[in-house]
A and B are shown apart, each in its own frame.
Chain A
Amino acid sequence: MGGLQKKKYERGSATNYITRNKARKKLQLSLADFRRLCILKGIYPHEPKHKKKVNKGSTAPRTFYLFKDIRFLLHEPIVRKFREYKVFVRKLRKAYGKAEWTGVERLRDNKPGYKLDHIIKERYPTFIDALRDIDDALSMCFLFSTFARTGKCHVQTITLCRRLTVEWMNYVVTSRSLRKVFLSIKGIYYQAEVLGQLITWLVPYQFAHDHPTDVDYRVMATFTEMYTTLFGFINFRLYQTLNLVYPPKLDSKAESELKAEHEEDYAMDSESYLEKLSALSASLARVVATAEEEENQLDLFPTEGEDQENMQAREKEQKEQEAQKRLFEGLKFFLNREVPRESLAFILRCFGAEVSWDKSLCIGGTYEVTDETITHQIVDRPDMDKQYINRYYIQPQWVFDSVNAQMRLPVEDYFLGTTLPPHLSPFVEEKDGDYVPPEKLKLMALQRGEKPVQEEEDEEEEDEEEEEEDDEEEDDVDDEELTEEKNLKKMEGTRAQGKTLAVKVTPGKVKPWETGSVGNKVRLEQEEKAEEKRLAIMMMKKKEKYLYDKIMFGKKRTTREVNKLTAKRKAHEDASKSQKKQKKAKKQ
């Protein structure tokens, strides 16, 4: 038995991973610098498959980085910049201590900085990669752009974030790529489809932030630093694809109009320009002045069989998308001052509507309330004093629901002062077996072109109808368990009746399955099949059995949840109905 004895943990997965502290020592960085580097370079810990092996036999909880990742960080030029900055801070402190003010000034002038361009290029070799990863960047920039310009982070960062988000919104408006919007309790979710990528972001409601104390803003700032760089390059590229001028400029016509109005309100020209851009009411200047974006149609190729079907489906989809893009085209909206102007203007402009608002609210309003051509006025107050006859006064949810439904919903439910129908999330895609709220079912029926149930009939009829509907729904949604329960209940009921009543012998009826007809056979077959399955399950291997049980458990849980939701809904509807009846009784 020759040869050296193999030492443990000198090959294999133990050498592929490195703990955080060791990595830090290898890079000779402080923890804060290491963190920054990891954030900027997108290095994250990995969970090894065999933790104990990697941890050299210990089971202590440690975070592991891939050794390759750390080696890759060794050659990062930005590490040197970090060190330079450290030296700069030291020198500055010294100069302050000695009260050498000229020295301080000189040092400040030569403050070392760094650029993240190469890191962005390295992390995202292609543009699509970058676009795919932009969700977090968008949410973060939108959050930072709503921060107050005091404390917490640099003012430059906030203005930069604001600028970038405005550019993004302008791009989305121009490219008309918004797909879904959702009013949640956290903020407003938007989903856009940019170059085939679905991008979702969350914008908080316009309120002052109550800054929490247990949040490390340095981490957030580092992320934002990276995100703004990424975001800027993406914006540049996106503007290029649409032949727009970057940084964005307003159309010369629109600009001249705007200039005439509000020039004196702003101290700085740049500030006013950003405001004008963020008003989203004017179109942007293009590099090449084209009259209209030409419609790019799918070329038709002679295809066969499945390909043809696919092609047709694709064509149909595109048509739908085109239709959605022009959802609000030809409509003229006016926003009241109590509605969130920016988000509504953004959405409406994305779908081709004309929007305006009160002059005192923001610059960029193109027409007044008194304009007779306004078709919709969006209001969010219980009542209005002065109403025009030739326009709808609707609540803002109509816009959001219409966008999600890809059609102009009937405005009746959204009139001034009415109780709004529930606002559903457009991001939920129900699979069979999941719970579908009845509103969604109605909406789907509407989309299919079916007419909604007439509700202007007598109330009683309505009630009846509702009941019928309820029954139908129950039938639809109830699954085996519920029906079983029902049967049991029925049986119990009959039993109870039997107890109370005197025992009677009634001529029995022959049940269909006892006659030996088709029903019997079917039932037998079913039973046989069920038994076969049971026997087969008995023969399953242990591992597969475990997996099978797990899957079945999950399925059962979902059905339980669905049942719970339906029961809740039913209880709620019953309660509301009884309330209605009570009211009616009172009236009479």
Chain B
Amino acid sequence: MRTVNLESQKNGTMSKAKEKSAKKRVVEEDDDQLPIFDKDVTEKKAGEEDDADLSDSEESVFSGLEDSESDSHDEEEDAEEGDDEEDDDDAVILDEILTKSSGVETATEPPATDKNTPTDIRNTVGNIPMEWYQDYPHIGYNLDGKKIFKPIRNKDELDEFLDKMENPDYWRTVHDKTTASDIRLSDEQVDLVHRLQKGQFGDVNFNEYEPSVDFFTNEVMIHPVTNRPQDKRSFIPSLIEKEKVSKLVHAIKMGWIKPRKPKETTPQYYDLWAKEDPNAILGRHKMHVPAPKMRLPGHEESYNPPPEYLLTEEERMAWEQQDAEDRKLPFLPQKHSCLRAVPAFSRFIHERFERCLDLYLCPRQRKMRVNVNPEDLIPKLPKPKDLQPFPTTMSLVYIGHSSLVRSISASPTGQWLVSGSDDCTVRFWEVNTGRCMKTLEVGGAVKSVAWNPNPAVCLVAVCFESTVLLLNPGLGDRLVVSSTDQLITSYEPPEEDKEQAVTWALSEGPEHDNGHRLTLTHPKAVKQVVWHGKGDYLASVMPDNSSNLQVLIHQVSKRRTQNPFRKNKGLVQCVSFHPLRPYFFVATQRYVRVYNLIKQELTKKLMTNCKWISSMAIHPGGDNLICGSYDCRLAWFDLDLSTKPYKMLRHHKKALRGVAYHKHYPLFASGADDGSVIICHGMVYNDLLQNPLIVPVKVLKGHQITHDLGVLDVTFHPTQPWVFSSGADATIRLFT
């Protein structure tokens, strides 16, 4: 480009060159001062041209002498001859320059068909967001109303980068959005930009530091500027003002206007409570809760506390790691050797502020602080001494079983004790000596044993697996033993043999010698056997949730079995006969149902409030019932009173396994998995107004806990205030 320009310049007319050179000299004189021009020595000839151009354009811009015809003419020529591109640049970037040059161009040479010289493509769309033309191929309209088309291919990042790397003029290239073309800034324009950036005037020629000429002279002139005499009104007093003043004076005289008093800033105090009414209720209401006072400081807050109040290293660490709310002390106790060394407390203002917040933000509530002596809370009970007799000490241990002893039962005379264990044996003990009189092997782990309560009969019911065995141990009075045998053999089978749920079989041979008398084979596993008080009837429990065949009642003398229930009312846990009346108690998991056997109907349903009943015992009088449960509770019912427990006793720490009533004494016992037997005194008075007295009198401990099981069964001696307990540690213990 440059070379072409130079050539064209050489060929150009000399007359113009002369004119220019004349002008140039003037310009150069000024321009030499500017460093940017000094540097520009690479192209001298082109530089001349540039200078000329610059001077011209600058003149046009800044001097305000645009109208000079000759200049414009010159310049136009220059532009045409010389830098086509630069000219174009000028035109687009700086509007003023552009207006001029382009205007001239169009005026003088409308065709402008030269390939190298792109015409002025000023966009006429105005100051609008150019995005509006995004979807069109053109970008606006030029002065002729022709569309300005966008370049076919936009520069992408790569182009941009290459341009950056290769084009040495990249730094002075500017993208014009309105015409979508790149414009290279000329040296003058760059210079102009530099100057503006520095905060200098755009015009090189402008001298900022010209000596100022005062608008008015500072010399006082002796003659007036005008010769007009002063107004009359400036000599005579104003009437209106006079009126106003006289009004004010009058007001002051009359005391209507008072001179402003300085305001009293210090508060005035007086005796506020001079007429105080001691009976006055506090202004508002009775719900007023006075704010509690601040806590008074303890020893640990001292600047020199006793050494024990200082925190150790670990405590200090713990204190620092705690949240501010969790800390027991809101500060760290510190020891200072003297008062002089005590620093300011950094949280003083904080604490005061928190107190303020508490006073007006903290909800207040009256809290009743229970100020009771804990001793007063303990109920006053009658002394256990006064409630004697009851078992107090462990006196005998019956050792012989090798596995847990599930069940025990005492003979009605109180001389013998029978026990059934998981080691598949039934043992008979003499109560007073602790001697094992007899050991019988049976075909399975013994679940339950029961001695016939009839003293005239010597029979023991033993249940294991699905069998109930009636044994004659042959202990005690021989007469009784033989009469019992007779009773069993005297049975005559009835004429018509009814189909029964249980098969009765008479034992013979060696089994008979062992004492086996009758074998009742049940369809399912039997869990419990229990005798009726008269000793003829026997009930057996086969817990099964799915059928109505859970409880069977057998009559020994007639060898008859019947199923009293048609419906299944839940898993039966245990059953019991009423000692006096024809009632039958069935305990399911949560309820105890009382059936009248004669009327064959449900009489009562006791709610035990327990989760799972484990055992049940009935008072020999038949009025009270106790239920032990696996959730550590013992429910005491008064059957006349209510179907809900009169008292719930939560004495044991673990599940109750067995409960028992004493025949004569007002005692009941409960054995639990925590290895203890608790004897309670349960007295019911005939006077209905007096509440029954239920008092625990003794905690008996002796059984060891094995496999999380403690005491499995308890039973009282029929005549003495003694209690037997069998445990998981394979022993039976007698407490007297």
Contact = CB atoms under 8 A, between A and B. Distances in A.
Interface of A: 35, 38-39, 43-47, 49, 63-64, 66, 68-69, 72, 109, 115, 117, 120-127, 129-130, 132-133, 135-136, 139-140, 143, 156, 160, 182-187, 189, 200, 202, 204-205, 207-212, 214-216, 219-220, 223, 228-229, 232-233, 235-237, 240, 246, 338-340, 380-381, 395-397, 419-420, 422-425, 427-428, 437-439, 528, 531-540, 542, 544, 547-548, 551-552, 555, 565-566, 568-569, 572
Main secondary structure of the interface of B (DSSP, over half): loop
B378 interface: yes
Interface in B251-296: 260, 263, 265-267, 269-273, 276-278, 280-285, 287, 289-291, 293-294, 296
Contact of B364 (A39, A45, A143, A160): A45
B378 A136 contact: no
A544 B362 CA distance: 31
B359 A135 contact: no
A184 B306 contact: no
B345 A187 contact: yes
Interface stretch (B48-56, B471-479, B594-602, B691-699): B691-699
A547 B372 contact: yes
A198 B110 CA distance: 108
24 contacts: A45-B362, A124-B273, A125-B277, A126-B280, A133-B290, A140-B356, A156-B266, A160-B266, A185-B302, A185-B336, A189-B297, A200-B296, A215-B349, A219-B356, A223-B359, A229-B267, A233-B271, A246-B269, A425-B296, A427-B296, A428-B299, A537-B378, A540-B377, A552-B374
A336 B306 CA distance: 27
Given A45-B363, A117-B272, A547-B372, A340 B339 contact: yes
Given A35-B360, A44-B364, A120-B272, A547 B377 contact: yes
Contacts of B361: 44-45, 63
Contact of B303 (A64, A183, A235, A536): A183
Contacts of A45: 361-364
B570 interface: no
Contact of B374 (A186, A237, A528, A548): A548
B187 interface: no
Given A45-B364, A140-B352, A228-B267, 19 more contacts: A47-B365, A68-B285, A68-B287, A123-B282, A125-B282, A126-B280, A156-B265, A184-B301, A205-B345, A208-B344, A215-B350, A232-B269, A236-B270, A380-B339, A439-B306, A531-B699, A538-B651, A539-B696, A547-B370
Interface stretch (B167-175, B379-387, B613-621): B379-387
Given A420-B337, A539-B696, A125 B283 contact: yes
Nearest to B272: A233
Interface in B694-715: 695-699
B468 to A, nearest CB: 38
Nearest to A210: B346
Given A46-B363, A423-B302, A534-B699, A127 B276 contact: yes
Nearest to B355: A136
B359 A44 contact: yes
A237 B365 contact: no
B368 to A, nearest CB: 11
Of all A-B residue pairs in the complex, the 4 with the closest CB atoms, nearest first, are A207-B344, A47-B365, A427-B296, A125-B280
Contacts of A209: 344, 348-349
B249 interface: no
Contacts of B303: 183-185, 423
Interface string B581-617: 0000000000000000000000000000000000000
Contact of B696 (A211, A538, A551): A538
A338 B340 contact: yes
A182 B276 contact: no
B406 to A, nearest CB: 28
Contacts of B293: 135, 200
B298 interface: yes
A179 to B, nearest CB: 12
User: Which of B271, B290, B302 has the most chain A CB atoms inside 10 A of its CB?
Assistant: B302
Interface in B122-158: none
A425 B359 contact: no
Interface in B299-326: 299, 301-309, 312
B453 to A, nearest CB: 32
A349 to B, nearest CB: 19
Given A63-B361, A184-B302, A536 B276 contact: no
B308 A569 contact: yes
Contacts of B377: 540, 544, 547-548, 551
Contacts of B281: 125
B260 A109 contact: yes
B343 interface: yes
Given A66-B287, A219-B353, A395-B339, A182 B365 contact: no
Contacts of A439: 306
B340 A381 contact: yes
A262 to B, nearest CB: 24
A129 B282 contact: yes
Given A136-B294, A240-B271, A569-B306, A535 B351 contact: no
Interface string B325-337: 0000001011011
B342 interface: yes
B378 A533 contact: yes
A392 B458 CA distance: 103
B338 interface: yes
Nearest to B365: A47
A35 B344 CA distance: 31
Given A136-B355, A246-B269, A565 B309 contact: yes
B309 A540 contact: no
Given A120-B272, A205-B342, A538-B651, A185 B337 contact: no
